[in-house]
Amino acid sequence: MGRIAYVNGQYLAHGAASVHIEDRGYQFADAVYEVWALFDGRLADPDGHFTRLNRSLSELKIDPPMSREALTVVLKETVRRNRIREGLVYLQVSRGVAPRDHAFPSPDIAPSVVVTVSRVDRAATEARALRGVGVITQPENRWGRCDIKTVGLLPNVLAKQAARERGAVEAWFVDEMGLVTEGASSNAWIIDANGTLRTRDAQSNILRGVTRTTLIEILGLEGITLSEQPFSVEEAKAAKEAFITGAGSLVLPVVTIDGTPVGTGEPGPMASLLRRHYIKQAKASSI
Catalytic residues: 149
User: Binding to ligand PDD by residue 277, rule CB under 6 A?
Assistant: no
Which 74-103 positions form the footprint of ligand PDD (CB under 6 A)? none
From 190-198, 223-231, 239-247, 277-285, span contacting ligand PDD (CB under 6 A): 239-247
Instruction: Assess contact for 38 and 122: CB atoms under 8 A.
Output: no
In the complex, minimum distance from the CB of residue 185 to ligand PDD, in angstroms, rounded to a whole number:
4
User: Binding to ligand PDD by residue 181, rule CB under 6 A?
Assistant: no
**Coil, strand or helix at 195:** coil
**Distance between CA 167 and CA 188 in Å, rounded?**
18
Instruction: Assess contact for 63 and 57: CB atoms under 8 A.
Output: yes
Instruction: Assess contact for 275 and 211: CB atoms under 8 A.
Output: no
CB-nearer residue toward ligand PDD: 112 or 245? 245
Other beta carbons within 10 angstroms of residue 122's beta carbon come to 13
User: Binding to ligand PDD by residue 187, rule CB under 6 A?
Assistant: yes
Which 208-227 positions form the footprint of ligand PDD (CB under 6 A)? 209-212
Provide the mask over 19-58, with x wherever binding to ligand PDD is found by CB under 6 A and - wherever it is not: ----------------x-----------------------
**Coil, strand or helix at 11:** strand
3-state helix, strand, coil in the chain (%, to 5): 35, 30, 40
Provide the binding-site residues for ligand PDD, judged by CB under 6 A: 35, 182, 185-187, 207, 209-212, 245-248
